[in-house]
Amino acid sequence: MRQFIPAFCLAAYAAFLFFFGLRPFEIISGRTVSGDVAAMEDVRGGDRIRDNMLESRAFSLDVVLEPFSAEQYGPARIITYSRDPLAWNFTLGQQGEDVVFRLRTCENDAGIGGVEFQGDAIFSTLRPLHLAITYDGVKTRLYVDGILRAESHLIQGNFRNWGKNHRLVIHDEVTGGRFWNGRIYRFLIYNRRLTEKEIKAAASGTPADGSLYQYKPGSPDWKPLKYRNLFITVDKVFDPLDCVANILAFIPVPGLLFFVLPAAFRKKRWLSCISLPLALGLSISLFFESSQRFIVGRVPCLADLVYNVTGTLIGCIFLMICARRYNVILLKERKG
């Protein structure tokens, strides 16, 4: 039976590695993030929203959501109607405990220098919230659970400069890197200002009629977000758990190769002892990250590729140390 132990360990590790790389959920800051809070996009609604907003001077957004963490920055994108991080028509995001709202107008263009409206300490408690943001061409107001929490005159103008070919996305930016960890229960977009009476009714569970757009969870129009980039590299927030997990998962890769090709590790083949495991680790990581583009709940990331290769390199060093100390592998020829 002993001769089957290495093969069993090899098969168990290979199964674990494939599950780790292709699992249908992420682990972010200690919380499991599955497909129901994955980045999604409406493949049909984008142009329709723009066409109906061009001649309007008012805008309202009615949202029911639940943040899972107060440590989300970028700002993390709750809902965005954008082309990339610097080209948006509107964006609702989270910056720590604060709500950040950006609205493009003819007097307030998108991108660097664009004006944003902020509501402080809205996410200080992690619970379901009703948010209503209204704009009447002069003033922007933020209501939380039917109560006015902030208002500003910073945003002015109409929407005639709204950009084309923008995508309506939830939970992330079009290019990735600004994932929002939470749940959206509903949101509606209006090309008019909601009244306080309508907002209080919406906070009680009865949204106002006449919405320009209504998000329906599970609608066939909503598909997993197809990121513009293969790897997500924009403003990735360092997550220690993600880093450690990706490194540890790939440390045994050189051992995996040793069981399959032990001859590659014998005698004075120092180059092969490092290059072959690194090539294998890089290939496996590339396969996993590329496949994650098609898995709801997963986000391909260049940082994960770096972590995986780092883990493989640590495994190479560990394997050579064991070889020298315990003579498990002959890394140099013995005399006599």
- Considering the domain architecture, whether residues 130 and 54 belong to the same structural domain is answered as yes
Beta-carbon contacts of 160 under 8 Å, excluding residues fewer than 6 positions away, are 54, 55, 106
Say if 290 falls within a structural domain: yes
| CATH number of 180's domain | 2.60.120.200
- Tens-digit pLDDT profile for the chain (336 aa)? 566 676 787 788 888 888 888 776 665 544 445 455 678 889 777 778 998 898 889 999 999 999 999 989 889 999 999 988 888 999 999 999 999 999 999 888 765 545 788 999 999 999 999 999 999 999 999 999 999 999 999 888 899 889 888 899 999 888 777 889 899 999 999 999 999 999 999 999 999 999 999 998 888 888 887 765 544 443 345 567 778 889 999 999 988 887 777 666 665 566 667 888 899 999 999 998 888 766 655 667 778 888 999 999 999 888 777 766 655 444 444 444
Please report, for residues 20, 113, 130, 170, the alpha-carbon distance to residue 308 in angstroms, rounded to integers and kept in the order given. 12, 37, 40, 28
Residue that finishes a domain, picked among 224, 258, 276: 224
Residue 113 and residue 216 in one domain: yes
Total domain count, the chain: 2
Through-space distance between the first and last CA atoms of the chain, rounded to whole angstroms? 34
336 belongs to a structural domain: no
288 in a domain, yes or no?
Answer: yes
Strand partners, 148: 143
Task: State the Cα–Cα distance between residues 317 and 149, nearest whole angstrom.
Answer: 57
Confirm if 102 and 114 have CB atoms less than 8 A apart: yes
Q: Are 194 and 202 in contact (CB under 8 A)?
A: yes
Same domain, 111 and 22: no
Domain boundary among 224, 258, 281: 224
Write the DSSP assignment of 74-96 as a string of letters.
S-EEEEEEEEETTEEEEEEEEET
Paired strand residues for 133 = 61, 142
For 301, which DSSP code? Answer: B
Asked whether the bond before 75 is cis by omega within 30 degrees of 0, the reply is yes
Range of the domain at 9: 2-29+239-326
Q: Residue 96 has what pLDDT?
A: 93
Neighbour-count burial of 1, counting CB atoms closer than 10 A to its CB (0-12 exposed, 13-18 middle, 19+ buried): exposed
Segments in the chain forming alpha helices (H): 5-22, 45-53, 196-203, 240-250, 253-260, 270-291, 302-326
Q: What is the DSSP string of 58-77?
A: -EEEEEEEEES-S---S-EE
Q: What is the pLDDT of residues 315-329, one digit of tens each?
A: 988 877 776 665 544
Tracing tokens 């080209």 back to the chain, one arrives at 87
Q: Say if 229 falls within a structural domain.
A: no
Residues 161 and 109 sit within 8 Å (Cβ to Cβ): yes
Other CB atoms within 10 A of residue 162 CB: 22
The pLDDT value recorded for residue 146 is: 96
Q: Are residues 162 and 19 in the same domain?
A: no
Which pair of tokens denotes residue 124?
Answer: 């200080």
What's the whole-model pTM score? 0.66
In three-state secondary structure terms, 168 is strand
Instruction: Please tell me the number of Cα atoms within 13 Å of 319 on its side-chain side.
Output: 29
pLDDT of residue 329: 47
Considering the domain boundaries, does residue 332 fall inside one? no
Kind plus residue range of the DSSP H or E element containing 25: strand 25-28
The helix/strand/coil state of 100 is strand
